[in-house]
Amino acid sequence: MFRFIVRRLLQMVLAFFGTTLIVYALMFAGQGDPIQALAGERPVTAAQRAYLTEKYHLDATGVGGFFYRYFDYISNLLRGDLGESLTGRSIGDILAAAWPVTIKLALIAIAVAVIFGVTAGVLAGIRRGSIFDNATLLLTLLVLGIPTIVLAPLAQYFLGVKWQVFPPTAGADPGFGALLLPGIVLGSLSLATALRLTRTSVAENLRADYVRTARSKGLPSRRVVSVHVLRNSLIPVITFLGVEVGNLMSGAIITEGVFNIPGVGFNLFRGIRTEDGPLVVGIVSVLVVVYLVANLVVDILYAVLDPRIRYE
Amino acid sequence: MSQNAVRPTPASPTPPGGHLLEVRDLHVEFRTSEGVARVINGVSYHLDPGETLAVLGESGSGKSVTAQAVMGILDTPPAHISSGAILYSGQDLLTLPEAQRRQVRGKEIAMIFQDALSALNPVFPVGWQIGETLRQRLGMSRADARRRSVELMDLVQIPAAAKRLGDHPHQFSGGMRQRVMIAMALAMEPKVLIADEPTTALDVTVQAQIMDLLADLRRDLDMAMILITHDLGVVADVADRIAVMYAGRIVEHADVRSLYRAPAHPYTKGLLNSIPRLDQRGGKLATIRGLPPNLMRIPSGCPFHPRCPYAQQVCVDVVPHDLVLGDGRTSACHFAQEVRDDRAS
Amino acid sequence: MSDFETVAASENQAARRGPSGEPGTPNQVGQPRKPRSLTGDAWRDLRRKPIFWISLILVLLVTAMAAVPGLFTSNNPTDCALSRQHAAPSGGAIFGYDFQGCDTYARAVYGARASLLVGALSALLTGAIALLVGMLAGYFGGWVDAVLSRVIDVVLGIPLLLAAIVLLKRVGSDSATVRVGAVIFVLAVLGWTTAARVVRSSVITAREQDYVAAARMLGAGDGRIMWRHILPNALAPAIVVLTIALGSFIAAEATLSFLGIGLQEPTISWGIDINNGRVHMRESATPLVVPSAFLALTVLAFIMLGDAIRDAFDPKLR
């Protein structure tokens, strides 16, 4: 187990350097005027130009200069210094204010996916071919097929503006009530995937030989399903949900943008809209790290859950 | 640990004139979208305390399905028991409500399966899986169940049992895994042990060890055993009686000695002839021609007639009844006597 | 392209020949049934599915819309007048007018073209990359497979939206053609991995078949074997995956345009219109709802079509 974690950590370090290098190269390499590239089409003041040149060491040139700047960027990133956005705010401060909101939102979304998706998936898996099963399959197909940019604004319009079941937008410091509708919208996709995954997994495991063994021990079928089948079926589901937590932390760009939730995705959304290069680079770099760490945690979780992996 | 750790169960209360376990005229069908397969067509057999019955047949002959019907673990659907009775100590298990039926499983009748790797749950330690039965069914404490699990693993001769309690099934060798299965089945000291092809997935050398272990345990714990196999070689030393199944019926039923000496059904005869023998050097190994029937289209009359060297017109037209040949032997063949007395082949 | 078509055509013929009886004829127990091909079975199965027909009709409808939008509306989507801002339906504008005073319905109809163009071309490009990588990895195995599989793993690990944002931010040009090309390129570069895995595994299966060994013994070269024997086997599963991918590419294009980094005005895109409609939803909801419905139905149609076809071909886990 220890060796497994060490190996995975090394892989993650490699992936970290690879991905950040790609992100950095794409943002900065080969641009005519890197400062203008960062700022997009906005006019750049002399003060901003001086700050950016110093910040990204833009006076060094060539491949050597590129790597010099890259490692400078990496060491700043590792020290937690993300620099300033074009509006002059510290990106670290922006993220520090945004994370708690995003995490709250992600937790609501995951809770929705677990409570409804996994439960319905288990039921559908047990009653495969029933009306309930077919209905959930069709419903999840609908959810999976409707893009978030349709779901989020429509939910906001109908449930928030027209029928006023939920608050249509979240304020500066949104509470649970304000985050509920965005959380459900955000979680619906994970819900559908988790449901389908659980259903397939449960249905497969119900046919496994060990279920027959457990029944022949004289265990009540409730226990056979809830202990033996579930423990095996939930391995892929938990893995998926783990990856999904990582995705939701970074992937809530649309939902946060639509509902005006001041989270990480919202700031990224705004950074794109206002063409604030440093803000986009800073947030994307942090999100890449979050994504990699989430994947590492999931892999270790998988090894903990499935003893067959651990000893390979 | 000594084998005294497992108390031999007192002789089972068999009602006068009845058997410990009796299957009466059992019919099972599989209802699928492709049609109805009649998998068991009137199987009857019985088992008395302390004896070993071998149920023999090719795959698809219905031997495992019968056993699963006895255990009450058939997958329904597609399986449906359309008629028949399964009496345990005189009580028809098929009429029992599920809650009571469940009490019989593992405690009165236990079962071990062919492929222990898939029959054991991959994510739980073996000690936990053996102990689960004890904790759930007998209400033992965690510590007691653990202690008892070690005893059971010692009983089935797993070396260093206490250390291996926390290991998972995939960490054991094939033979050791099958021993874990056996230990699990013995947890509640059942009176009947059904072994469904317990050695098929194992190496030949390990097969013999497992069969010896089963035979010893049966004797020491005074259980009755149903041994399901397709291998005639396995049963000779272990079984008291043999029931040969074909196309969901028992075609011949006899004590081991008479069956080996003079088989009274052409199918049994074919099976015996297809065992390689040391005294038979050179020449071709005899085989039974043709294939087992499709259970959705069982041939008319005697289901074996398309493959039978003795077949006459009557075999195509009339379903043979069980012919009683004395000594408790039966054979479902129109020419049972002739076959038995025909020593030519 | 002729090989794509001949394969598809022969499959269709097989599908038509396949079913031996009328649909719904119960199989009589005890009678031998004529052996049927996999495609025959799949087609029998598909024919009975309402979802298949509904999604097929929707796909054909939106394709017609993209090809000849004039058939569906006689109004000009770029003929906008602020005097008609959020005006009620009139004339051909059955859903009224949006914030800019453009015909909401006409814009939705004309929006199909960009969506379908991006979706179809991304799917084609994806298919080409996937076939190339999957065939090389599956056919040659060894270190080629090891390297390509790692590349697939890495690309699969990149969060799509973030990577698309980074890549598309680099496109300076505002020319419509360049932006469409850039979106297609980005979607294909990030989206080919699933299809490549599918191709790889079907190539590995095909490689082990006897007829491939026979062809090799007869002296056929690697190129010929891959083209004549392996490619046809890998095509069917790849096409199914790409049908579903087409739907998600359309959704991805709309999302990127919604965020303002995909297509840009004056190109008409559902994603842009949804974002504009969203901003003014309190005044009038139809400019939000109409393009949303068009986008959702189109994406759904492709995903359901692919899903139905996959289910028909792979009945194992239904």
**Residue B297 to chain C, least CA–CA distance (Å):** 5
Quick one: pLDDT at residue C32?
41
Average pLDDT, chain B: 81
> Is the model's pLDDT at B2 over the cut of 60?
no
Which residues of chain C does A162 touch, with a Cβ-Cβ cutoff of 8 Å? 285
Across the interface, whether the CB atoms of B296 and C30 are under 8 A apart is answered yes
- B9 at interface of A, judged by CB pairs closer than 8 A: no
Quick one: pLDDT at residue C24?
34
Confidence at A56, pLDDT banded by 50, 70, 90: low
Cβ atoms A199, A277 nearer than 8 A: no
Burial class (CB in 10 A: 0-12, 13-18, 19+), B159: exposed
Across the interface, whether the CB atoms of C157 and A258 are under 8 A apart is answered no
> Is the model's pLDDT at B298 over the cut of 60?
yes
> Is the model's pLDDT at C296 over the cut of 90?
yes
- A129 at interface of B, judged by CB pairs closer than 8 A: no
Summarize pLDDT for A102-158 with one digit per residue, the tens. 888 999 999 999 999 999 999 999 888 889 988 998 888 888 888 888 998 999 999
Q: Which residue has the tokens 């006019």?
A: A43
**How many other C-beta atoms can be found within 10 angstroms of the C-beta atom of residue B341?**
11
Q: What ipTM was predicted for this assembly?
A: 0.81
Which residues of chain B does A126 touch, with a Cβ-Cβ cutoff of 8 Å? none
Closest residue of chain A to C258, computed from CA coordinates = A149
Average pLDDT, chain A: 81
3-state secondary structure of C157: coil
Identify the weakest region by mean pLDDT among A22-36, B98-112, C40-54, C100-114. A22-36
Across the interface, whether the CB atoms of A217 and B121 are under 8 A apart is answered no
- A229 at interface of B, judged by CB pairs closer than 8 A: no
Please, where are the H alpha helices in chain B?
63-71, 98-104, 116-119, 126-138, 142-155, 161-164, 174-186, 204-221, 232-235, 256-261, 266-273, 313-317, 336-341
Quick one: pLDDT at residue C58?
94
Tokens linked to A216 = 């022949």
Which residues of chain B does A232 touch, with a Cβ-Cβ cutoff of 8 Å? 121-123
The better pLDDT of the pair C171, C259 is held by C259
Domain count of the fold of chain C: 1
The pair phi, psi for residue B166, each rounded to 5°, is -90, 0
In-domain check, residue C8: no
In-domain check, residue C6: no
Quick one: pLDDT at residue C21?
32
Of the candidates A216, A223, A307, the beta carbon closest to that of B136 is on A223
Note the pTM of the prediction, 2 decimals: 0.78
Mean of pLDDT values over B102-123: 86
> Is the model's pLDDT at A240 over the cut of 60?
yes
Identify the weakest region by mean pLDDT among A43-52, A105-114, B323-332, C266-275. A43-52
Identify the weakest region by mean pLDDT among A279-288, B141-150, C51-60, C95-104. A279-288
Cβ atoms C237, C199 nearer than 8 A: yes
Identify the weakest region by mean pLDDT among A21-25, B149-153, C243-247, C312-316. C312-316
Summarize pLDDT for C179-201 with one digit per residue, the tens. 889 899 999 988 888 889 888 88
> Is the model's pLDDT at C174 over the cut of 80?
no
Domain ranges of chain B: 21-246, 249-341
Quick one: pLDDT at residue C15?
33
The domains of chain A, with CATH numbers, are: 2-78 (no CATH), 100-305 (1.10.3720.10)
What's domain B21-246's superfamily in CATH? Answer: P-loop containing nucleotide triphosphate hydrolases (3.40.50.300)
Summarize pLDDT for A270-284 with one digit per residue, the tens. 887 777 777 877 887
Summarize pLDDT for C61-78 with one digit per residue, the tens. 999 999 988 888 888 888
Contacts of C226 (CB under 8 A, 6+ apart): C135, C139
Residues of C with CB under 8 A from a CB of A: 51, 154, 157-159, 161-162, 165-167, 169-170, 247, 251, 254-255, 258-261, 271, 274-275, 277-278, 281-282, 285, 288-289, 292, 295-296, 299-300, 303-304, 307, 317
Burial class (CB in 10 A: 0-12, 13-18, 19+), B217: buried
Across the interface, whether the CB atoms of C277 and A153 are under 8 A apart is answered yes
Summarize pLDDT for B246-280 with one digit per residue, the tens. 888 888 888 888 888 888 888 888 888 777 766 66
Confidence at C161, pLDDT banded by 50, 70, 90: confident
Find, among A245, A223, A231, the residue nearest to A112 by Cα. A245
The better pLDDT of the pair C86, C131 is held by C131
Closest residue of chain A to B190, computed from CA coordinates = A217
Which residues of chain A does C300 touch, with a Cβ-Cβ cutoff of 8 Å? 141-142, 145-146
Q: How distant, in Å, are the alpha carbons of A63, A163, A222 from that of A114? A: 49, 27, 20
Which residues of chain B does A210 touch, with a Cβ-Cβ cutoff of 8 Å? 118-122
The better pLDDT of the pair A190, A285 is held by A190
> Is the model's pLDDT at C1 over the cut of 80?
no
Summarize pLDDT for B14-41 with one digit per residue, the tens. 445 578 888 888 888 888 777 788 888 8
Contacts of C313 (CB under 8 A, 6+ apart): C38, C42, C236, C237, C240
Across the interface, whether the CB atoms of B296 and C27 are under 8 A apart is answered no
In-domain check, residue C311: yes
Summarize pLDDT for B49-72 with one digit per residue, the tens. 888 898 988 877 888 888 888 888
Mean of pLDDT values over B156-168: 84
Quick one: pLDDT at residue A39?
63
Across the interface, whether the CB atoms of A231 and B103 are under 8 A apart is answered no
Residues 36-95 of chain B whose Cβ lies under 8 A from any Cβ of chain C: 36
> Is the model's pLDDT at A311 over the cut of 60?
no
Of the candidates A19, A153, A277, the beta carbon closest to that of C288 is on A153
Find, among B191, B188, B192, the residue nearest to B130 by Cα. B188
Which residues of chain A does C285 touch, with a Cβ-Cβ cutoff of 8 Å? 157, 161-162
> Is the model's pLDDT at C92 over the cut of 80?
no
Name the most confidently modeled range: A128-142, B319-333, C2-16, C145-159. A128-142
Which residues of chain B does A220 touch, with a Cβ-Cβ cutoff of 8 Å? 102
> Is the model's pLDDT at B324 over the cut of 90?
no
Of the candidates C170, C292, C300, the beta carbon closest to that of A142 is on C300
CA atoms within 13 A on the CB side of B302: 28
Quick one: pLDDT at residue B277?
66
Q: What span, in angstroms and rounded, lies between the C-alpha atoms of A242 and A236?
A: 10
Sheet holding B35-47, edge to edge: B35-47, B21-32, B79-88, B91-92
Q: Which residue has the tokens 């303002």?
A: C260
**How many other C-beta atoms can be found within 10 angstroms of the C-beta atom of residue B13?**
11
Find, among C81, C76, C110, the residue nearest to C93 by Cα. C76
Across the interface, whether the CB atoms of A231 and B110 are under 8 A apart is answered no
Mutation to test the A interface, candidates C49, C258, C316, most A Cβ within 10 Å: C258
Tokens linked to C11 = 């499959």
Which residues of chain C does A272 touch, with a Cβ-Cβ cutoff of 8 Å? 165, 169, 259-261
Strand runs labelled E in chain A: none
Find, among A247, A188, A149, the residue nearest to C252 by Cα. A149
Quick one: pLDDT at residue B283?
63
- List % helix, strand, coil for chain A (3-state, nearest 5): 80, 0, 20
Whichever domain contains C159, its CATH number is 1.10.3720.10
Mean of pLDDT values over B171-187: 87
- Range of C249's domain? 50-66+99-317
Across the interface, whether the CB atoms of B106 and A305 are under 8 A apart is answered no
Query: Percent of chain A at pLDDT above 70?
Result: 89
CB environment C26-44: b (16+ within 10 A), e (fewer): eeeeeeeeeebebbbbbbb
Confidence at B7, pLDDT banded by 50, 70, 90: very low
Of the candidates A144, A150, A273, the beta carbon closest to that of C274 is on A150
Across the interface, whether the CB atoms of A153 and C278 are under 8 A apart is answered yes
Of the candidates A217, A223, A306, the beta carbon closest to that of B106 is on A217
**Residue A251 to chain B, least CA–CA distance (Å):** 33
Mutation to test the C interface, candidates B29, B297, B298, most C Cβ within 10 Å: B297
- B133 at interface of A, judged by CB pairs closer than 8 A: yes
Mutation to test the B interface, candidates C25, C28, C29, most B Cβ within 10 Å: C29
Neighbours of chain A (3+ CB pairs under 8 A): B, C
Sign of the alpha-carbon torsion through C88, C92, C95, C101: negative
Find, among B236, B273, B277, the residue nearest to B256 by Cα. B236
Identify the weakest region by mean pLDDT among A262-266, B6-10, B324-328, C270-274. B6-10
Across the interface, whether the CB atoms of A27 and C254 are under 8 A apart is answered no
**Residue B332 to chain A, least CA–CA distance (Å):** 32
Query: Percent of chain C at pLDDT above 70?
Result: 84
